[in-house]
Structure 1
Amino acid sequence: MSRFFATGTDSESETSSEEEQIVRAPAPVYTFSDDEEETKRVVRSLKEKRYEELEGIIHSLRNHKKIKDFSSALASFEELQKAYSRALSVIQKEENGVAPRFFVRALTELDDWVTTAWNDRDARKAMSKGNSKALTSIRQKLRKYAKDFDMEITKFRENPDLPDDDDERKDTSSSDESDEEEKVKEKPRARRSPEPPRRPPPQDDESSDSMDWGSSSSESSSSSDDEIRGAATLREKFLKRTTERDEDEERDRRRARRERKERAGKVSKKDQADDGGEWETVRKGAATSDKPKMFAKDSDIDAALVVKKLGEISAARGRKRTDRRAQLELLHELRTVAQQHNLGDALQLKLRAATVAALFDYNPKVSDAMKPEYWSRLVENVDAMVTILLAHTDMVLSENITEENEQLVTPPYQVRGCVLTALERLDDEFTKLLKECDPHSNEYVERLKDEVRVSALIDRVCQVVERDGSPQEICRAYLRKIDHLYYKFDPRAVKKDLPAGEETSTKKMENLCKYIYANDDSDRLRTRAILSHIYHHALHDNWFQARDLLLMSHLQENVQHSDPSTQILYNRTMANLGLCAFRRGNVKEAHGCLAELMMTGKPKELLAQGLLPQRQHERSKEQEKIEKQRQMPFHMHINLELLECVYLVSAMLIEIPYMAAHEFDARRRMISKTFYQNLRASERQALVGPPESMREHAVAAARAMRRGDWRACLNFIVNEKMNAKVWDLMVGAENVRAMLGRLIREESLRTYLFTYAHVYASLSLRSLADMFELPRQRVHSLVSKMIINEELLASLDDPSECAILHRSEPTRMQALALQLADKVGNLVDSNERIFEKQGSFFQRGGAPRGEGRQRGERPRDGWARRQRNRRRDEDRAHEE
């Protein structure tokens, strides 16, 4: 009976097959042992899950770093923070609250990357707007977030090459996984059962139908078995076969690699290859092989051989694929060889000069600063050159000596080179280093400490140049010394009782500048020396010496033809001279020195203390780079707020009395346009609040002085806020405040007399002295001076100590009428001039031109006649 029917005979099967359709059962799906092992579920701990999540985010973060995608890096960093928060409970339980090392490594790498990108200003400017904004955000968030991991980051930076905790975990997990894979590969062979025997063919004769059904069933079963067997055979053919020997070798290799890493104490940058080989680090630049030997083993090393080798090394300078670092190493080795064989100091000097030249060549871009470590090596080499020159009086280092005329073996020694040029370039590189640093960071302070080394080196070079150099070279060396001296304040220079024989900076400046005045052949050095000398005098309140030196030099006439650095020095000198005049109480001179600088509205650019955005046109990159190179280091800046305050207070003390004296004068001129505009803008405001900024304090004080309220004016200028911002920054702040109080009282008295003199018939000098808290002699002097200058029409009565006022000033109505008459006269005069220019176009009916005037009178004569008549009437009224 066929297995497709539950019961019945052959006849029944025939009838059933004819009557109804047979539905076959679906073939069962068999699961093999290989599939069971491949889809085996792996149970992981919570620690592994959290750590894998952190590692995935860190991996994506490193990918974003490679393409400099700050926007995606910001998003990944925020995800990293959230993932670490989720893993915090596991870290506290497993690691005792200490962040895992791979996480600390990721934070440190991210911090270094963000800091490097932030310091590269040129690259920041080239960024897109979104990338730049993302860089700012990630920098702020990272600095805030990294504060919680300061100890871990500091500990990591001490030993950054130690292996991470996850490396060992990965090794163990990888070994476990490999063991699991090995078991998986072994299990199918263990579980696979032998092939079942085939069914023998039937022996008895059966009906044709039953034979057909039986043969079909057996064929289907046998074909399915063949398919299963073929699939298994094909899978075994392509699977990697492993033997126990291969597994043992792989396990030993991993164990040896892990032990080697632990013994070396660091992790290689790349995983080792399967065969145990390691990656080689290829240096950037020229593809150099092993360093060649300096000399042959049996060669006789002398000065000529060393010079020849030096020529070979120097011949590679400037070539495209020259490794500059290798050149420095070769020069250092060559100097060591020369020192070991005692080839003399002259050869050492030549090798040092070649090293200095190679160090200057190490920086390919002239506009960029050198690295600090190479600059320190540069200072050491130049200092060694100066030491050798000072130790040997018979040794000369000069650019005029050719290589053929060099004498390196026997005295007198002659070496080609120039220590003064090396010093000048070293000093310029030091200035570039200061400009590259953030002026508000500790790095700037550390760099500024090196100025002591530079100044000491300049003094020693001056000794060498004074002994061997020409007068022009001595002037160049002295100017470098002046550049580091002129802007520094020396407290000993302002003392009266200075010990005898002690030399101050003022005396040093005078000696250095006088030598340059007498021996300089170029006008540039002399001009810079004069400006530095004036600056130094003004810094120590030597007003008269500084003023006389400026007037005698006539620099104002020709300074516009000088180079930009000299013009910047001139602007700095005028600014400091104005501050000196103000400290000495010379308000008009202070205003005159600062007016040209402050009226432009760009003192920051004129003093080379920064760049202002331009509205009309943008600067090109080349122009901006050139202007940045001209900027002054931060420690040499002049306080711009102090400068503006001094200018506004000086303008107030001059402008307010002048405005009161010429209140009704239509032809009144402005003394200070900037101050006048600020005052007018304040008067237009409907509601004026209490002053906040320094400029608002100056304007409020001017308005109070205009009313004659000197106490309010003094309170606006001298208070705690203004003292902290401005006046405490000056030398002798107490004297400056006392001087300001005196000047404000005197100018307020003058303003009061100009404004209210027409109200009084006589004024008591004692009352004025009590009102403005001034000495009576000073009030008498001020009133007398005003009468002499015809600013006040009055006379003094000495017995009664009164000022008798002559009521000759016009009343307000008369003053307005005079203004109107003056304006009408100007209008008539302009109309007559236009009429005269038009000529015959205005002639009507043959009437003569100029009808209505006196015969023979020209248009200009009519205006002159009216002016004479008006003056005669005014003189007659004055006499009456």
Structure 2
Amino acid sequence: MSRFFATGTDSESESSSEEEQIVRAPAPVYTFSDDEEETKRVVRSMKEKRYEELEAIIHSLRNHRKIKDFSSALASFEELQRAYTRAAPVVQKEENGIAPRFFIRALTELDDWVTGAWNDRDSRKALSKGNSKALTSLRQKLRKYTKDFEAEISKFRENPDLPDDDNERKDTSSSDESDDEDKVKEKPKVSRSPEAPRRPPPQDDDSSDSMDWGSSSSDSSSSSDDETRGTTTLRERFLKRTTERDDDEERDRRRNRRERRDRAGKVSKKDQADDGGEWETVRKGAATSDKPKMFAKDSDIDAALVVKKLGEISAARGRKRTDRRAQLELLHELRTVAQQHNLGDALQLKLRAATVAALFDYNPKVSDAMKPEYWSRLVENVDHMVTLLLAHDDMILSENITEDNEQLVTPPYKVRGCLLIALERLDDEFTKLLKECDPHSNEYVERLKDEVRVSALIERVCQVVERDGTPQEICRAYLRKIDHLYYKFDTRAMKKDQQPGEETSIKKMERLCKYIYANDDTDRLRTRAILSHIYHHALHDNWFQARDLLLMSHLQENVQHSDPSTQILYNRTMANLGLCAFRRGNVKEAHGCLAELMMTGKPKELLAQGLLPQRQHERSKEQEKIEKQRQMPFHMHINLELLECVYLVSAMLIEIPYMAAHEFDARRRMISKTFYQNLRASERQALVGPPESMREHAVAAARAMRRGDWRACLNFIVNEKMNAKVWDLMVGADNVRAMLGRLIREESLRTYLFTYSHVYASLSLRSLADMFELPRQRVHSLVSKMIINEELLASLDDPSECAILHRSEPTRMQALALQLADKVANLVDSNERIFEKQGSFFQRGGAPRGEGRQRERPRDGWGRRQRNRRRDDERGHED
């Protein structure tokens, strides 16, 4: 039934339309005065009351959904449950227990909204604590509540576009998702007199559902009719009149004007007045300020006028309502005008610099990366600036030049700006673009291709800075060049037959770094240059140059006071230096370089190659954001499995011979704590299966080396699986595998002599050479070195080529007895120290039991030293 046949005054009709109520048409009532007509009561059924209550709650729930207020949505949902419980008798009586369709629609929409918000993890993490807790509670309660309506919800999802029940109000179906223009078309249009004033549309309504477009004109016209014709009934007021044809014609005229406006792009002032303030198409985003006019047709355009217009455009930078895209368009138009009037390259350079600044301002968040298309425009503008500067020797671009001292017309040209700052920010934006991409996708490869453009641009900027810049600016430009060069491997540098005039990357790095060493005024640039130089030397296996440069710089002492990016570069340099030492066969040096990095258990974070979850405490959002900004691009990563494998193999080659030589030494120290713990954990296992991971291969190889089985040890370290994961990643993989085989045979020989020397009276060097497949000279050298270092008590007999072992070493039983004696002595010493400390805790009433002992034995430990000296003499006599 239509609401236009309801009785009541204008105020009652407005309130009923705002509350979206449908009033039943009562029997005709004869009124005698206007006052009596205004006080008429409206009679509504229980069904209407309960349904209107549900609709009001659903309306507020939809408003909460628009602003993503989960706390208020939870409260409205609980209120909706209580309201439906009150309406349950009505539903049971009127609908046979089937929930109304508008209620099922509201539950379905709420369920979809909650599910989408829960699945969006990024947005869920950004919620406040109260909203996050409310979302969790709302999700649980909604899932529990909708179980009773599963059949109705599934039936609704099959045909969601069907209209709701007749009992639902007209405007509550799905008006929240409809557009404003559709609302205008759906509302009935009533003609108005041209004299009636137009009321402006409401500006800041809470929701789109509360808007009642066109009601003011109809109300005003109807009220005027009531004054002139008081006897007219309310039904006759809303009858169809002859003016509806005029309304259709007016609607057609408006539609034609809108189409013409869309085609032309602009609306004249006359059309706006006739149109009555219709909708205008605006751009998405912040409100735009008035676009300044460029130039009048009859104006004389010169450099001063263009600079003045540039100042007007630049004055809007940083304001809240400034449209950044419109600024870029205005600068482009201004540059085109200057080019058409041939105002000179100096003015073009100034306009390009302003465009670069506007492009940097286009990205509102500094932490986020620019869009690729704007970054490409940025590279293009900076490249044009460099081209203009290289083409004119008498053109200077510097930030020390003030606006009053600029010369844009006559040479020598002077322009205010800084090319080096633009280059540094452009390079930083390129790094952000790489971090935003998935490193395993084709997008990353496409982005990485732009690195050639950036390197070429840096090379050209260096030419400009070398001509016009100060030594400190040249150092900054050179450092940017070094940052794109130090991690790249140059195959030409490894060739022995190099051409005389050819400049390899090693020579280029040396030239750039030496200039920074000599001219840098800050320690930061010099430190980063030294670390990059060491990294580049280590990458090309120049071990001695890299080691000497590191030792001479003394960076290990002060690097902890540097900024985080420099500390990350130091960690990367030490990791690469350790790999270089391992490739050259210097196992101890490789272990020393990698020990500090690997023993922490966080090499991934120290090398800025990712973040690991922290067990003790969680990172805050700000801290996690800062650490993500410090991460290195994927193409600059160092393989962590390669680092761990090199570290474990180096520790095995050092630790296993040391453990065999000091098997019964109670004071034995651990060279590598990580390797020792892995080895002990493997020994405690009852059943040891075949190794699978890289760490298990290293432990299995260590156990084979302890037995003297060098073949099994080599097989665990060098095999197809380890080759594919580790050794093939190194430069000169065949040389590395050959070096590993030689080192494993030599250390296995030393371990064998330490372990089984007490069994033999003499050992043939030829037999040892055949057993470990080593040259006889190498075996002779190893045995001689062990004898000289007093690691092996033996002597060499050159005629027979034998090593005669002296039985001065204790047997296994004697070694265990000595070890037990040392432990007992340590226990006695600890007990004595405990008794000495108890002297200060005497009770006043009587002497403690330890008082006699303290009188017999002095406090200075003289008796203990005497017993220790006597015990040492007895051991020497036995030896």
Q: Same fold (TM over 0.5)?
A: yes
Distance 1:194 1:106, change over 3 A: closer
Distance 1:858 1:528, change over 3 A: farther
- With 720-729 and 544-553 compared, the bigger mean Cα shift is at 720-729
State yes or no: 1:751 paired with 2:762. no
Distance 1:697 1:64, change over 3 A: farther
In 1: Cα distance, 2:792 partner to 2:397 partner: 74
1:359·1:378 contact (CA, 8 Å) conserved in 2?
Answer: yes
- With 714-723 and 866-875 compared, the bigger mean Cα shift is at 866-875
In 1: Cα distance, 2:205 partner to 2:424 partner: 119
In 2: Cα distance, 1:206 partner to 1:369 partner: 35
1:346·1:413 contact (CA, 8 Å) conserved in 2?
Answer: yes
In 2: Cα distance, 1:100 partner to 1:543 partner: 81
Distance 1:184 1:756, change over 3 A: closer
Structure 1 position 34, deviation (Å)? 34
Structure 1 position 295, deviation (Å)? 1.2
- With 11-20 and 623-632 compared, the bigger mean Cα shift is at 11-20
1:47·1:90 contact (CA, 8 Å) conserved in 2?
Answer: yes
Structure 1 position 305, deviation (Å)? 1.0
In 2: Cα distance, 1:596 partner to 1:671 partner: 12
- With 809-818 and 172-181 compared, the bigger mean Cα shift is at 172-181
Distance 1:51 1:595, change over 3 A: farther
In 1: Cα distance, 2:515 partner to 2:207 partner: 138
Structure 1 position 500, deviation (Å)? 2.2
- With 94-103 and 346-355 compared, the bigger mean Cα shift is at 94-103
1:350·1:416 contact (CA, 8 Å) conserved in 2?
Answer: yes
Deviations 1:824-867 (A, max 9, x none): 22222233333334447679999999999999x98687678767
- With 229-238 and 684-693 compared, the bigger mean Cα shift is at 229-238
Distance 1:464 1:221, change over 3 A: closer
2:20·2:169 contact (CA, 8 Å) conserved in 1?
Answer: no
In 2: Cα distance, 1:154 partner to 1:205 partner: 35
In 2: Cα distance, 1:376 partner to 1:17 partner: 55
Q: Secondary structure at the match of 1:368?
A: coil
In 1: Cα distance, 2:554 partner to 2:870 partner: 42
In 2: Cα distance, 1:295 partner to 1:6 partner: 61
Structure 1 position 100, deviation (Å)? 32
In 2: Cα distance, 1:821 partner to 1:786 partner: 28
Structure 1 position 376, deviation (Å)? 1.1
Residue 867 of structure 1 aligns with which residue? 866
2:582·2:646 contact (CA, 8 Å) conserved in 1?
Answer: yes
2:427·2:454 contact (CA, 8 Å) conserved in 1?
Answer: yes
Structure 1 position 692, deviation (Å)? 1.2
Residue 184 of structure 1 aligns with which residue? 184
Structure 1 position 474, deviation (Å)? 0.5
Structure 1 position 820, deviation (Å)? 1.6
1:163·1:267 contact (CA, 8 Å) conserved in 2?
Answer: no
Deviations 1:434-485 (A, max 9, x none): 1111111211111111111111110001000100111111101000000000
Distance 1:329 1:181, change over 3 A: closer
Structure 1 position 822, deviation (Å)? 1.3
In 1: Cα distance, 2:126 partner to 2:207 partner: 92
- When the two chains are superposed, the root-mean-square deviation of aligned CA atoms in Å is 15.8
Deviations 1:351-397 (A, max 9, x none): 11111111111112211111111111111111111111100101111
In 2: Cα distance, 1:208 partner to 1:278 partner: 17
2:660·2:755 contact (CA, 8 Å) conserved in 1?
Answer: yes
Distance 1:634 1:852, change over 3 A: same
Distance 1:46 1:446, change over 3 A: farther
- With 94-103 and 52-61 compared, the bigger mean Cα shift is at 94-103
Deviations 1:269-316 (A, max 9, x none): 999999999853212455447744211221111111111111111111
Deviations 1:463-518 (A, max 9, x none): 00100111111101000000000001111111111122111101100000000111
In 2: Cα distance, 1:639 partner to 1:19 partner: 67
Structure 1 position 150, deviation (Å)? 34
Structure 1 position 134, deviation (Å)? 17
Matches within 5 A, 1:470-619: 470-619=470-619
Residue 785 of structure 2 aligns with which residue? 785
In 2: Cα distance, 1:205 partner to 1:852 partner: 96
In 2: Cα distance, 1:276 partner to 1:387 partner: 54
TM-score for the superposition, normalised by structure 2: 0.72
In 2: Cα distance, 1:590 partner to 1:202 partner: 75
Structure 1 position 718, deviation (Å)? 1.0
Q: Secondary structure at the match of 1:795?
A: strand
- With 278-287 and 28-37 compared, the bigger mean Cα shift is at 28-37
In 2: Cα distance, 1:773 partner to 1:203 partner: 92
- With 815-824 and 857-866 compared, the bigger mean Cα shift is at 857-866
Deviations 1:550-601 (A, max 9, x none): 0000110111111111111101000000000001110000000000011111
In 2: Cα distance, 1:660 partner to 1:193 partner: 110
In 2: Cα distance, 1:349 partner to 1:197 partner: 55
1:102·1:166 contact (CA, 8 Å) conserved in 2?
Answer: no
2:289·2:322 contact (CA, 8 Å) conserved in 1?
Answer: no
TM-score for the superposition, normalised by structure 1: 0.72
Structure 2 residue runs of 5 or longer lacking an equivalent are: none
1:270·1:279 contact (CA, 8 Å) conserved in 2?
Answer: no
Structure 1 position 400, deviation (Å)? 1.1
2:57·2:79 contact (CA, 8 Å) conserved in 1?
Answer: yes
Q: Secondary structure at the match of 1:4?
A: helix
2:535·2:576 contact (CA, 8 Å) conserved in 1?
Answer: yes
Structure 1 position 544, deviation (Å)? 0.3
Number of aligned positions between the proteins = 879
Q: Secondary structure at the match of 1:396?
A: strand
Structure 1 position 873, deviation (Å)? 5.8
In 2: Cα distance, 1:134 partner to 1:310 partner: 51
1:285·1:321 contact (CA, 8 Å) conserved in 2?
Answer: no
Distance 1:288 1:589, change over 3 A: closer
2:479·2:529 contact (CA, 8 Å) conserved in 1?
Answer: yes
Structure 1 position 773, deviation (Å)? 1.4
Residue 468 of structure 1 aligns with which residue? 468
Structure 1 position 128, deviation (Å)? 10
Structure 1 position 793, deviation (Å)? 0.9
Distance 1:614 1:3, change over 3 A: closer
Q: Secondary structure at the match of 2:796?
A: strand
Distance 1:125 1:734, change over 3 A: farther
- With 682-691 and 67-76 compared, the bigger mean Cα shift is at 67-76
- With 568-577 and 823-832 compared, the bigger mean Cα shift is at 823-832
Deviations 1:521-545 (A, max 9, x none): 1111110000000000000000000
- With 286-295 and 408-417 compared, the bigger mean Cα shift is at 286-295
2:657·2:751 contact (CA, 8 Å) conserved in 1?
Answer: yes
Distance 1:364 1:53, change over 3 A: same
In 1: Cα distance, 2:843 partner to 2:468 partner: 88
- With 382-391 and 791-800 compared, the bigger mean Cα shift is at 791-800
In 2: Cα distance, 1:682 partner to 1:388 partner: 68
Distance 1:854 1:331, change over 3 A: closer
In 1: Cα distance, 2:210 partner to 2:393 partner: 128
In 1: Cα distance, 2:126 partner to 2:378 partner: 33
- With 799-808 and 466-475 compared, the bigger mean Cα shift is at 799-808
1:272·1:279 contact (CA, 8 Å) conserved in 2?
Answer: no
Structure 1 position 868, deviation (Å)? 8.3
Percent identical: 93
2:189·2:247 contact (CA, 8 Å) conserved in 1?
Answer: no
- With 218-227 and 364-373 compared, the bigger mean Cα shift is at 218-227
Structure 1 residue runs of 5 or longer lacking an equivalent are: none
Structure 1 position 79, deviation (Å)? 29
2:660·2:751 contact (CA, 8 Å) conserved in 1?
Answer: yes
Distance 1:31 1:566, change over 3 A: same
Structure 1 position 122, deviation (Å)? 4.9
Q: Secondary structure at the match of 2:136?
A: helix
- With 677-686 and 538-547 compared, the bigger mean Cα shift is at 677-686
Residue 402 of structure 1 aligns with which residue? 402
1:34·1:188 contact (CA, 8 Å) conserved in 2?
Answer: no
Deviations 1:725-772 (A, max 9, x none): 111111111111111111111111111111111111111212211111
- With 634-643 and 319-328 compared, the bigger mean Cα shift is at 319-328
In 1: Cα distance, 2:797 partner to 2:207 partner: 164
In 1: Cα distance, 2:222 partner to 2:459 partner: 105
Distance 1:200 1:653, change over 3 A: closer
Distance 1:222 1:76, change over 3 A: closer
1:344·1:409 contact (CA, 8 Å) conserved in 2?
Answer: yes
Q: Secondary structure at the match of 1:195?
A: coil
1:574·1:593 contact (CA, 8 Å) conserved in 2?
Answer: yes
Structure 1 position 145, deviation (Å)? 31
Q: Secondary structure at the match of 2:214?
A: helix
Distance 1:215 1:463, change over 3 A: closer
